[in-house]
A = this chain, B = another copy of it.
Amino acid sequence: MNTDKHGFYFSYLCLFMFICGQIFLCIFCGEILMNIIKVNSVQREEMIDITREVEYIVGESSVKEGVCILFTQHTTCGLTVNENADPHVKSDMLGFLRGLIPQFYEGFRHSEENSDAHIKSSLVGSSVTVPFQNGKLFLGRWQAIYLCEFDGVRERSVLLKII
């Protein structure tokens, strides 16, 4: 648990550093915007809150009401919406999934030792969709948007499309 806690604070530090340097590659095409959020994981398994980055992009957009579609371009991480308050929810989720879908399972034949991450990726899903209005995401009181890293340490790309 100690290393989890350490990783927790460390991930916040790294997140802060990389938010500063994140690339908002905006491609204007009529009224539609495409952005890329870069996320850097610091552990093999980690839930990284990207709500502020998403809110920032949605807030800057000229579209006043619509949906924000996030899509990750990887096969060993996922995107989800879950609790933003108690960090134990994140560690409970990652810990339980680690037990349920172990990295080293005798039946796995894929040679990269990350079949567990591919499975978790498909179960959690590669995209999330969140409605917004007047630059504010319609998230519930306890909701945050997470990139779920299942095979870090890596840099991940999340595409953000406003419709």
- Chain A: residues with CB nearer than 8 A to chain B? 27, 29-30, 32, 34, 64-67, 69, 71-75, 80-83, 86, 88-89, 91-93, 95-97, 99-101, 105, 107-112, 115, 118-119, 121-131, 133, 138-143, 148, 157, 159, 161, 163
Q: Smallest Cβ distance from A162 to chain B, in angstroms? A: 10
Which residues on B sit within 8 Å (CB–CB) of A75?
81-83, 89, 140, 142-143
A contacts with B: majority SS? mixed
8 Å CB contact of A86 from B74, B110, B122: B110
How many copies of this chain does one complex carry?
A: 3
Across the interface, name the chain B residue whose C-beta is closest to A84: B75
Chain B contacts for A91, CB-based, 8 A: 109
Contact indicator A83/B29 (Cβ below 8 Å): no
Instruction: For the complex formed, measure the closest distance between the CB of A84 and the CB atoms of chain B, giving whole angstroms.
Output: 8
Note all chain B residues with C-beta closer than 8 A to A131. Answer: 34, 69, 71, 159, 161
| Complex A-B: 9 CB contacts under 8 Å | A69-B131, A75-B81, A86-B111, A91-B109, A92-B107, A92-B109, A93-B118, A96-B105, A122-B124
The contact of A125 among B95, B97, B125, B130, by CB within 8 Å, is B125
Do residues A82 and B133 form an inter-chain contact, with CB atoms below 8 A?
A: no
Q: Kindly state the separation between the CA atoms of A29 and B126 in the bound complex, as whole angstroms.
A: 29
Q: Quick check: B80 and A122 within 8 Å, CB to CB? A: yes
Chain B's closest residue to A123 (CB) is B123
Q: A75-B143, A96-B101, A122-B80 are in contact. Are A110 and B89 (CB under 8 A)?
A: yes
CA of A150 to CA of B142, assembled, Å: 16
